[in-house]
Structure 1
Amino acid sequence: MATFAVTGSASGMGAASAATLSAAGHTVIGVDLRDADILADLGTAEGRERAAEEILARCGGTLDGVAAIAGVGPNLPDAAAVMSINYFGTVRLLERLRPALAASGAGRAVVIGSNAASTVPIIDDDLVELALAGKEQAARERARAAAEAMPAEVRAMVPSISAYASSKFALIRWVRRTAVTPAWARQGVLLNGIAPGAVLTPLMLGATGDAADYDPDGFPTPMPLGVFGRPEDIAFWVQQFLRPEARFTTGAILYVDGGTDAAMRPDAQPTAMTP
């Protein structure tokens, strides 16, 4: 049996993933702000370091996989915190744990992006580049400024929508860039991402309302299957990416969104390489 670290393990997709892995007989080290093995705020440098140190202590320096699921939604008022948690919290922790994943001989890491990265037309390119350059303070300042510049009616509904979509866009781009570098690929550490759509989690409900009021056919984005996702739908794919048999997949981004992205961008993937 394997040892996995799961961030965001107290609720939603993180809780479902932790439960799925535990049910399969694996050891799960949960990380969250509450109700977890390790209590840490991944939105801060101190919290990330604490989480990394405690994970490494619990796994003895050898870790089979990480499911980096912790994140916040566009309803969070502070756009800077959205960037720190969603992007830097995930990236910095994974960078810190990479040697332990390599030590296992078949390390696996999966991150949770969002189909908002490709279906919300307010990606802030400058914010994305600041994130990818590792400039957290500058990214925080940019995120706050961009949020303040949004129309008042948008801020009232989803105050951090640009930071949210941009943080997930940057995270998925980081996965694609990083997964194929020698420090990851040639060390046998596979890195992949999942882009969920409308999944009924506390994060989604906090942004858009009460589940009882939901109508898939009246949702702002297309819902081809006519149903919303459940946390268990994401947990299934988290488990697949963490399996040792998933030995020939890295740098992949899997949309688990009921077909929303395909409905909105049917010709976007694949994209042919241009000369």
Structure 2
Amino acid sequence: MTGRTAIVTGAARGIGAATARRLAADGHAVAVLDLLEDQAQATAAAIAADGGRSLAIGVDVADEAAVAAAADRVAAELGAPTILVNNAGILRDNLLFKMSAADWDAVMGVHLRGAFLMSRAAQAHMVEAKWGRIVNLSSTSALGNRGQANYAAAKAGMQGLTKTLAFELGRFGVTANAVAPGFIETEMTRATAERVGVPFEDFLAAAAKETPVGRVGRPEDIAAAVAFFCSEEAGFVSGQVLYVAGGPKA
């Protein structure tokens, strides 16, 4: 595979960190972007320890100026980014009648505004190179999920954004696809278990029981799907949503 420069947002831990490590293992230089800069540094250090090239940048993906500055820094220090994985996300779960406007805006800002700003910044480099890969992280929650009106709407929006990017950028050699994970064992799902007062092992067991393959997902499962969409071989695949959920969805 030709080595490229990739940006992965929300890459300090969980799915983002696993994706950054996988893309580095595939031979790409990887910019690890996250609001948690110290944890992003740890991910970048792990990549470097394995012989890869990486750069950690602390950035709020909903901040237009910060995104532009980060993209410029990546281009200057690692090379023009032609792979972008929009993974950054947060949870502010609540039932509709309890959900505040701030909860709604925060989730929309990180997921949708962040993906828009990052895609707009990166596409200039991709168009110039006449080659690019954009992968957006959606979720099975895009199909609707109790207590997640904001998150479900954002993740459904990621699918619409993906398909539109595929239409607009395809003639420049740029593909756009989405990966929609099911239940994945991460710090985010651990926090959800704590919020609802269920021991994490019981939370995982219940999720596994509802999954046809009989287990919950791992960050590496998602990283593998993202890596395919980022590959040279995926050049004729664009505008697709792949549910990686251990069973049929959508």
TM-score by structure 2 length? 0.81
Aligned with residue 216 of structure 2, among 216, 228, 232: 228
Counterpart position of 1:111 = 136
C-alpha displacement at 1:81, in angstroms? 0.8
Counting only pairs closer than 5 Å after superposition, residues 1-275 of structure 1 correspond to structure 2 as 1-33=3-35, 34=37, 35-36=39-40, 37-60=56-79, 62-75=80-93, 78-120=103-145, 158=147, 161-181=148-168, 184-209=169-194, 210-216=199-205, 218-219=206-207, 222-259=210-247, 261=249
Q: 8 Å contact 1:40–1:50 — kept in the other structure?
A: no
- The aligned amino acid for 1:240 is F
C-alpha displacement at 1:31, in angstroms? 0.5
Residue 31 to residue 14, structure 1, CA distance change in 2 (3 Å): same
Gaps of 5+ in 2: 41-55, 95-101
Higher relative contact order (CA 8 A, sep 6+): 1
Counterpart position of 1:151 = none
Aligned residue for 1:213, secondary structure, equals helix
Tell me the alpha carbon deviations over residues 122-154 of structure 1, each in whole angstroms, 9 at most, x when there is no partner: xxxxxxxxxxxxxxxxxxxxxxxxxxxxxxxxx
Q: 8 Å contact 1:179–1:185 — kept in the other structure?
A: yes
Residue 46 to residue 75, structure 1, CA distance change in 2 (3 Å): farther
Aligned residue for 1:66, secondary structure, equals strand
C-alpha displacement at 1:90, in angstroms? 0.9
Counterpart position of 1:134 = none
Residue 221 to residue 41, structure 1, CA distance change in 2 (3 Å): farther
C-alpha displacement at 1:245, in angstroms? 1.5
Aligned residue for 1:250, secondary structure, equals coil
Q: Distance in 2 between matches of 1:79 and 1:51?
A: 26
Residue 221 to residue 82, structure 1, CA distance change in 2 (3 Å): farther
C-alpha displacement at 1:215, in angstroms? 4.5
Q: 8 Å contact 1:65–1:107 — kept in the other structure?
A: yes
Q: Distance in 2 between matches of 1:215 and 1:110?
A: 27
Counterpart position of 1:125 = none
Aligned-pair identity (%):
31
More off after superposition, 98-107 vs 251-260: 98-107
Counterpart position of 1:135 = none
- The aligned amino acid for 2:237 is T
C-alpha displacement at 1:39, in angstroms? 0.7
Gaps of 5+ in 1: 122-157, 266-275
Q: Distance in 2 between matches of 1:221 and 1:103?
A: 48
Q: Distance in 2 between matches of 1:177 and 1:242?
A: 18
Q: 8 Å contact 2:87–2:136 — kept in the other structure?
A: yes
Q: 8 Å contact 1:101–1:107 — kept in the other structure?
A: yes
Residue 16 to residue 67, structure 1, CA distance change in 2 (3 Å): same
TM-score by structure 1 length? 0.74
C-alpha displacement at 1:233, in angstroms? 0.2
